[in-house]
Amino acid sequence: MRIAIVGAGAVGGYYGARLAQAGHEVTLIARGANLEAIRLRGMRVRSASGEFAVPVRAESDPSLVGPVDLVLFAVKTYSNPQALPLVLPLVGPSTVVLPLQNGVDTADQLAAVVAPGRVLAGTTYIGATLVEPGVVDYIGTVRKIVFGEAFGDRVVTDRVSRLRETLAAADIQAEAAADSRIAIWEKFIFLAPIAALTAAARLPIGPAWAQPAFRDAFDAAMAEIEALARHAAVPVAADIRAQKLRYLDTSPPGMRSSMMVDITSGRPLEIEALVGNVVRRGRAAGIPTPVMAALYGVLKPFERGAPSLT
């Protein structure tokens, strides 16, 4: 299979390396030092169980690649204005595009660039960090992609089933979903509050979760987003909040959200996709989102990195 991955960071780099290792013709769309490192040394993945490096093509210009069978869209959401147009030269009559971003809007954004019939919808669960150009540290054992059709009937189509088999054969934990919205929104209900709260606190899970006030704020923020999901007629689990509370009760105390890592490193934040989106949806639906609105106000000055103090 010919595969292009737009965004060769932690997520795109890891999955690209796995797919190339499995024998697929993979091209990573990258830039800067990351592009040069991949061209020189391939993509390297390090984990507790060992490491591997795989030669893989890397380009900055997708027009040099042309149409492929599969596009994985894995840039940070704040790069979408620049990255979305990069998808168009990669799409042909039989291409499928699978976004692996945080948030709930990417499929619609991609459908505005390419034909909606080319677009799937999905989300990923993985602990990975791009620690230096061309090098990904993979943490833990989870490397799951849950995906399905973005539009049309809520069924597992043949192309979704075939792609699930392709991903599974590359040692990726792939799950085909009849209703892709459920997995995307259930992750969003958890991720948006925990990312925003730990970023605002500048703390990993352990010391934050030890405070009852933090747990109460997290549950209240989840309730706000669950209300938005139900307003959008997305049938998330009835006990979704209880599930996520139990998960954090047993999470490693050193676990850090990517937004917490980004804010403490002075990097840009996915504030609009994860926090601002909740506030805007709440206003449009007439659903109060006071916790997420407060977090949006606190974090917005850090959207583009550490603000100047002068």
**Separation CA 130–CA 31 (nearest Å):** 14
- Residue 71, judged by CB atoms within 10 A of its CB (0-12, 13-18, 19+), counts as buried
Length of the chain: 310
How many CB atoms within 10 Å of residue 285?
13
Place of tokens 């505005």: 112
Tokens standing for 87?
């998808």
Question: Where would I find the beta strands (DSSP E) of 133-282?
Answer: 135-149, 173-176
Q: Which of 230, 157, 225, 163 is nearest to 192 (CA)?
A: 225
**Separation CA 225–CA 245 (nearest Å):** 15
Cα 100–Cα 105–Cα 110 angle in degrees, nearest 5: 70
What is the pLDDT, as a whole number, of residue 140?
85
Q: What is the pLDDT along the chain (310 residues), one digit of tens a residue?
A: 999 999 999 999 999 999 999 999 999 999 999 999 999 999 999 998 899 999 999 999 999 999 999 999 999 999 999 999 999 999 999 999 999 999 999 999 999 999 999 999 999 999 899 999 999 999 889 999 999 999 999 999 999 999 999 999 999 999 999 999 999 999 999 999 999 999 999 999 999 999 999 999 999 999 999 999 999 999 999 999 999 999 999 988 988 899 999 999 999 999 999 999 999 999 999 999 999 999 999 999 999 998 877 6
Q: Which domains does the chain have, with CATH numbers?
A: 2-178 (3.40.50.720), 182-302 (1.10.1040.10)
Torsion angle of the four alpha carbons 199, 204, 210, 211, in this order, in degrees rounded to the nearest 10: -10
**What's the gap between Cα 213 and its chain centre?**
28
What is the pLDDT, as a whole number, of residue 308?
78
Predicted confidence (pLDDT) per residue in 165-191, tens digit: 999 999 999 999 999 999 999 999 999
How many CB atoms within 10 Å of residue 303?
15
Question: Where would I find the beta strands (DSSP E) of 74-162?
Answer: 96-99, 120-132, 135-149
DSSP helix/strand/coil, 118: helix
What is the pLDDT, as a whole number, of residue 59?
98
- For residue 28, the surrounding DSSP H or E stretch is strand 25-29
Place of tokens 């796995």: 18
Q: Looking at the DSSP assignment, which residues form a beta bridge with residue 70? A: 3, 96
- Residue 179, judged by CB atoms within 10 A of its CB (0-12, 13-18, 19+), counts as middle
* Residue 20: partners with Cβ closer than 8 Å, 6 or more residues away: 26, 43, 54, 55, 56
**Total-model pTM:** 0.94
Place of tokens 């050193």: 254
